[in-house]
Structure 1
Amino acid sequence: MFDFVRKHNRLFQLILLILILPAFVLVGVEGYSSFIDGSNKGVATVDGRKITQAEWDAAHRNQVERMRSQMPNLDAKLLDSPEVKREALDQLVRERVMLAAANGQHLTISDERLQQLFRADPQFAFLRNPDGTVNKNMLQAQGMSSEMFAQRLRQDLTLRQVMLGVAGTAVASKANAAAAFDALLQQRELQLQVFDAKNFLAQVNPSDAEVEAFYKEPANSARFQLPETAQIEYLVLDLESLKGGVTVSDEDLKKYYEENQSRYTVAEERRASHILIKADKDAPAADKSKAKARADELLAEARKNPAGFAELAKKNSQDEGSATRGGDLDFFPRGAMVKPFEDAAYALKQGEISNVVESDFGYHIIQLTGVRGGEKKSFDAVRAELDQEVRKQLAQKRYSEAAEQFSNMVYEQSDSLKPAADKLKLTIQTAVVQRQAAPGATGPLASAKLLEAVFGNDALRNKRNTEAVETSPNQIASARVVQHNPSRLPALADVKAQVRAQLMQKLAGEAAIKQGKERLAALQKSGDAAGLEAPLVVSRAKPANLPPKVLNELLRADVAKLPSYVGVDSGEGLYVVARINKLLPRDPAVIDEARATQQYAQAWAAAESMAYYNALKTHYKTKITAPASAAASGVAP
């Protein structure tokens, strides 16, 4: 048979082509198009331009990276939530709306304005060199070139202009601010009487029949339901587990130390002061010659009196940033200054003054005032660090091979984790898990992928190992269900004490409410304040430890006629009866007139900005088409 196939190979190829081609035409083209268009699918449109799923995904990834860099310990599950994803889409839509508005209004930022804002804005101080130039090392650390940074800054500043006309022109009169804050922070003098459920517990004694009836009520079943759990064994392969099996000799450590001396040497930094006579690189030759002559004169003065360099810099340097400090630029590493300046500074000995140095900014006279760093740490001082580093590198090299072995063994010998554990010298661990990671869970037990595999049909029914799951970078895990406990309602005998306690709390709460309402009715009828607590003053700024629901009800109660009587069930086992004696103006100590006016203006500006943004969305026909299941509801389409 196979000889026949080999002899008639071309014939079989033709037959296969005839069979496959129609299927591809009918099904394959559509499937291929769907595959290509999946990431190109529109999730929103702004001004007729589509925002694709791929762009949304990229925006979400960038948002996650920013949040992780700011809060490294943030739960990864929160970053992958529908709310965070929707926020990324909303920000992307807002950026596109602002770009459309900026283009429609012909807004732009000139190069001169860009330079001025960069040098003046305090938020960019960490990106500025002492001479006002961009610190390229800082940009590189953030994955940007100078051109990328300038482009991004220009776009951000352009987009700000769209809203500036609205946000920057809000007007708030003192009278309007006062009226708003008077209403918000109005004070009321009250007398209270609190009926607490815990004070009625001794009065309630439910029978066994009542406890059983309470337990069987459908509405109460969920309170006592035991969650679905799985008792598992699991195995983890990561760099840490592999490092333990790595042996490193002193010879290997010393070799690594010699090959990486720069890593164990403190980087040299130099401190210098300078006098700058400005001369742009494109300035006319006559102007540059005049600046050079002035720098030569100052160099001669500096060398006559090196101790007076700082005073000379204060009077003559045209570097506004350093002149007031006597030209001091503080310590800087290699790469922080323009090359001609750096070369000259690193060629000097401490206290020496350089010749006139030309750069793109003009002519510098440099005095070296300090040197630090450059020391090499001894082998013994860094031996422990070397050992960990070399072990980690060797484990990293071993990881790929070990991960493949791990994956194959837990799959091929799926009835036990022991073969893989023995082969790779790993420890089998145990745990009890639910479908959702427990609060505070770490490592593999916090992995949604691993838990999903644990509660898969094959793992639950057949007690087979899960496939090897990547639970974090350089970490894979497999688990096996030892015992599965479905969600169930326990027998009453097992939870009777818990059921009885909850029923008693419910009955005590009902008793507190009943007595509180009776007291309220008596007050409304007689007005007798006997038994009420001493008067106190409350407001939103001074809640007096009242539950939020109670405070809100007391502050919204009708006070057309005083005294007024109010009863509020807090929903937390408290019933509060209150007599409102009088209204008082807001406390001026909480917020003064100037601050009130400022905050009112900010709130008004925010409201106007949001209204303007919504108008822009309508004008530029903004529509969000992402399905509700893909993200939580946010800004309306």
Structure 2
Amino acid sequence: GPAHRESAMLSQIRERATGWIAWAIVILISIPFALWGINSYFEGLTQVNVATVDGEEIDYQIYQNALSERRRVLLQSLGSNVDPDLFSSEEFKRQVLDGLIDDVLLTEQASRYGYRISDAQLASWIQSLPQFQRDGAFNAELYADTLSRVGYTVAQFEQAQRRQSTFEQMRNGLTDSAFVTDADVDSMLALLYQERQADYVLFTPEMFTGDVEVADADIETEYETNKSRYRTPERLRVEYLELSVDGLAEGIEPNEEELRQLYEENIGRYRAPEQRRASHILITVAEGADDEAVQSALQRAEELSALAREGADFAELARENSQDTGSAQQGGDLGVINRGVMVEPFENAVFSMSEGEISEPVRSPYGYHVIKLSELVPERVRDFDEVRDQVRDQERRRQAESQFIDLSESFRNLVYERPDSLQPASDELGLEIKQSDWFTRSSGDGIAADARLREIAFGEEVLEQELNSEVVERGANALVAMRRLEHASAQPRPLDEVRDEIRERLERTQAASLAVKKGEELVAALLAGGEWATLVAQTGREVEVLPARRRDAVGEARDVAALVFSAPAPQGGAPAFGGGAIAGERYAVFRLSGVTLGNPEQVDDPERERVAGALQRRRGFEYFLSFQTGLRQRADIKVYAEQL
């Protein structure tokens, strides 16, 4: 209810954050603020604790903020793939609380170890952040204003960064202390570059669909047992207001005089860079070609360059000789070229040539090019008429962003202060109240395509209390508030409507079980001494050969490779057999005939360094986890589960 909204400080910060600058600040402060920068806001409120850590209290509001933040991150990264029930699960709640407990322990330990950041270091870091700079230099007024815009004082921000810095110093000290030996790296490379000789057969549900029969009684039992599976989903429609930079820009129309003035003031933006029109003849060189092939291609390119310089028609030479089939038909013409488009050797040659010049052969990753510079288009300033629409759109955007910053606070306040209606905000700000289509908890169109908005719409405030939602961000430059319009509960679907669906489900389930059964029977027979070729032939399945290197396996072979490369190596010269379920309810049975470890001496230095770095980071992470576990074991932690 409203009390909850009054306490949701991180949410309010996000509501007030506009544009990339404010979002950058939110990212900087969100972690330490969740735990440390919030207590002053709740003075005078009754404090309920969810845990204490060595006497340090974690109160309910901090915990709720952490839950909200974790939900937001998961919804943004996974969208509709997130099970909505996850967020109400005890496991999810406990994971979030455990994260807060670890934050307290680690920050306290960092303080005990004496990790510090000096005033000079903190100031230097803050002054280096581009979001606090104007014309390349730190601006104190911009610094304070930007923090204020996201609901943070300079003192709060700097204190939060001090705490975060000490924590990171301690963590980095632990992780960076991990080391790996050359022998460690050699062992890992031997495993990474090993080759395994294996083949396999697959058993799939499709093989057995003709062998299963689903009785009507089975269908009825499934329907009665799992009625919740055969229901129309709960649905919702909302009405909503959206304050956005794009929407505001549509209502802005700068006059012609303003546009011309802006053009003159920013004329440097409207320079068209130098361009070049070129044609080429390509003689390709295959990747990994030997010296003889390279020399042959170079010799042919030199002959064509000489012919062109002696006056032969370049376009005709290209049509007859160029191995770039796309441009050859146009006489080698590549059109107008801008910098940064072509590969570097080709571009460097083109932009160093004179008009009409024909080059010596130029080597690129594709082969040898003979280039003719057909035309040089010098840099110029575009006329106002050419860029008028661009100037107008930029000015619309600039004004809209300014209005958005000015109006976002009013939007938030109006939605919050009149929780029973969106009309006051609509009237005051001139925004149209729109209506969504029907949507479910897991999918929707329009604004309901956003998983975060769906979660809020189906939350207690909107669905049950029929209040305005909190103000929610859609990207960096749009704010949305919703309220319930229509709601339809989930309803059972009649058995006759879902009979075929159930039959298909049961057939698939039974066929998948048969696939596993047949696969396991084959594995058992092989382990009992049966001969591979004979037993496989009896199944009627085709044998597939697995690529020797795991990284070469694609599609279904990748899933099989995961089984094969985790199996013990064969012993005593005899093949090893095994099997397991893979994606698509399939079952793979494999024969592993041999394992050849990789040779670390054949791995180049960059790859060796990459593997060594990955090993060091993993070992450092393990050190850190071990350290964290030790802190927990020694700490006095009390969790008040009834408050979660």
CA distance 1:219–1:153, shift in 2 (3 Å)? same
Q: Is the 2:461–2:467 Cα contact (8 Å) retained in structure 1?
A: no
Output the CA distance in 2 between the equivalents of 1:400 and 1:98: 37
> What is aligned with 1:289?
none
> What is aligned with 1:625?
639
Output the CA distance in 2 between the equivalents of 1:455 and 1:126: 39
Q: 1:560 aligns with which of 542, 551, 571?
A: 571
Output the CA distance in 1 between the equivalents of 2:136 and 2:522: 74
Does residue 97 in structure 1 map to residue 105 in structure 2?
Answer: yes
- Displacement, 1:578? 1.2
Q: Is the 1:195–1:516 Cα contact (8 Å) retained in structure 2?
A: yes
> What is aligned with 2:626?
611
Q: Is the 1:136–1:146 Cα contact (8 Å) retained in structure 2?
A: no
- Displacement, 1:186? 4.7
- Displacement, 1:226? 1.6
Output the CA distance in 2 between the equivalents of 1:616 and 1:379: 61
> What is aligned with 1:479?
485
> What is aligned with 2:505?
502
> What is aligned with 1:335?
none
- Displacement, 1:601? 2.0
- Displacement, 1:213? 2.0
- Displacement, 1:582? 0.8
**Residue correspondence of structure 1 range 133-532 to structure 2 within 5 A:** 134-136=138-140, 139-140=143-144, 142-143=146-147, 151=159, 153-180=161-188, 182=190, 186-201=194-209, 203-204=210-211, 206=213, 210-217=215-222, 221-222=226-227, 225-229=230-234, 235-236=239-240, 382=392, 385=396, 407=420, 431-434=437-440, 436=441, 438=443, 442=447, 446-448=453-455, 450-451=457-458, 472=472, 475-480=481-486, 484=488, 486-491=490-495, 493-517=496-520, 519-520=522-523, 523=526, 524-529=528-533
AA in 1 matched with 2:622: A
Q: Is the 1:98–1:159 Cα contact (8 Å) retained in structure 2?
A: yes
Output the CA distance in 1 between the equivalents of 2:442 and 2:409: 28
Report the aligned-residue RMSD. Answer: 6.1
Q: TM-score, normalised by structure 2?
A: 0.52
- Displacement, 1:193? 1.6
CA distance 1:499–1:99, shift in 2 (3 Å)? closer
Q: Is the 2:196–2:593 Cα contact (8 Å) retained in structure 1?
A: yes
- Displacement, 1:162? 3.0
> What is aligned with 2:22?
none
> What is aligned with 1:580?
592
Output the CA distance in 1 between the equivalents of 2:267 and 2:145: 17
Q: Is the 2:412–2:471 Cα contact (8 Å) retained in structure 1?
A: no
Output the CA distance in 1 between the equivalents of 2:412 and 2:120: 53
CA distance 1:92–1:189, shift in 2 (3 Å)? same
Output the CA distance in 2 between the equivalents of 1:602 and 1:398: 46
> What is aligned with 2:16?
none
For residue 170 of structure 1, give the secondary structure of its aligned residue in structure 2.
Answer: coil
Output the CA distance in 2 between the equivalents of 1:76 and 1:194: 29
For residue 443 of structure 2, give the secondary structure of its aligned residue in structure 1.
Answer: coil
CA distance 1:148–1:182, shift in 2 (3 Å)? same
> What is aligned with 1:352?
none
> What is aligned with 2:343?
none
Output the CA distance in 2 between the equivalents of 1:173 and 1:444: 50
Aligned length: 450
For residue 529 of structure 1, give the secondary structure of its aligned residue in structure 2.
Answer: helix
- Displacement, 1:172? 1.5
Q: Is the 1:194–1:574 Cα contact (8 Å) retained in structure 2?
A: yes
CA distance 1:440–1:87, shift in 2 (3 Å)? farther
Output the CA distance in 2 between the equivalents of 1:439 and 1:607: 42
> What is aligned with 2:339?
none
> What is aligned with 2:615?
600
- Displacement, 1:89? 5.1
- Displacement, 1:94? 4.0
Q: Is the 2:189–2:611 Cα contact (8 Å) retained in structure 1?
A: yes
Output the CA distance in 2 between the equivalents of 1:455 and 1:590: 59
Residue by residue over 1:110-168, the C-alpha shift from the partner in whole angstroms, topping out at 9 and shown as x without a partner, is 456667x749xxx9464797999745466346417877666555444433443454323
Q: 1:49 aligns with which of 56, 59, 64?
A: 56
In structure 1, runs of 5+ residues without a counterpart are 1-34, 270-371, 411-419, 459-465, 631-637
Q: Is the 2:180–2:612 Cα contact (8 Å) retained in structure 1?
A: yes
Output the CA distance in 2 between the equivalents of 1:485 and 1:152: 45
**Structure ID, larger Rg:** 1
Output the CA distance in 2 between the equivalents of 1:135 and 1:394: 25
Q: Is the 2:415–2:471 Cα contact (8 Å) retained in structure 1?
A: no
Residue by residue over 1:311-358, the C-alpha shift from the partner in whole angstroms, topping out at 9 and shown as x without a partner, is xxxxxxxxxxxxxxxxxxxxxxxxxxxxxxxxxxxxxxxxxxxxxxxx
Q: Is the 1:46–1:93 Cα contact (8 Å) retained in structure 2?
A: yes
- Displacement, 1:585? 0.9
Residue by residue over 1:460-504, the C-alpha shift from the partner in whole angstroms, topping out at 9 and shown as x without a partner, is xxxxxx5666675564544245xx56431522x323332332333
- Displacement, 1:211? 4.2
For residue 200 of structure 2, give the secondary structure of its aligned residue in structure 1.
Answer: strand
Residue by residue over 1:230-264, the C-alpha shift from the partner in whole angstroms, topping out at 9 and shown as x without a partner, is 586x6546669xx99x999x9xx88xx89xx9999
Output the CA distance in 2 between the equivalents of 1:112 and 1:189: 61
Output the CA distance in 2 between the equivalents of 1:145 and 1:625: 32
Worse-superposed segment, 621-630 or 562-571: 621-630
AA in 2 matched with 1:479: L
- Displacement, 1:102? 3.5
Output the CA distance in 1 between the equivalents of 2:575 and 2:632: 50
- Displacement, 1:215? 4.1
Output the CA distance in 2 between the equivalents of 1:93 and 1:402: 35
Q: Is the 2:422–2:433 Cα contact (8 Å) retained in structure 1?
A: no
Output the CA distance in 2 between the equivalents of 1:496 and 1:155: 61
CA distance 1:487–1:141, shift in 2 (3 Å)? same
Q: Is the 1:194–1:577 Cα contact (8 Å) retained in structure 2?
A: yes
Residue by residue over 1:445-464, the C-alpha shift from the partner in whole angstroms, topping out at 9 and shown as x without a partner, is 94556546799789xxxxxx
For residue 442 of structure 1, give the secondary structure of its aligned residue in structure 2.
Answer: helix
Output the CA distance in 2 between the equivalents of 1:86 and 1:568: 33
Output the CA distance in 1 between the equivalents of 2:403 and 2:193: 63
Output the CA distance in 1 between the equivalents of 2:96 and 2:263: 39
CA distance 1:76–1:494, shift in 2 (3 Å)? closer
In structure 2, runs of 5+ residues without a counterpart are 1-41, 270-380, 473-478
Q: Is the 1:235–1:477 Cα contact (8 Å) retained in structure 2?
A: yes
Residue by residue over 1:493-541, the C-alpha shift from the partner in whole angstroms, topping out at 9 and shown as x without a partner, is 3233323323333343344445444544554534243656364345654
For residue 492 of structure 2, give the secondary structure of its aligned residue in structure 1.
Answer: coil
AA in 2 matched with 1:500: R
AA in 2 matched with 1:495: V
Output the CA distance in 1 between the equivalents of 2:174 and 2:403: 59
- Displacement, 1:432? 3.9
- Displacement, 1:550? 4.6
CA distance 1:395–1:518, shift in 2 (3 Å)? closer
Q: TM-score, normalised by structure 1?
A: 0.52
- Displacement, 1:603? 1.4
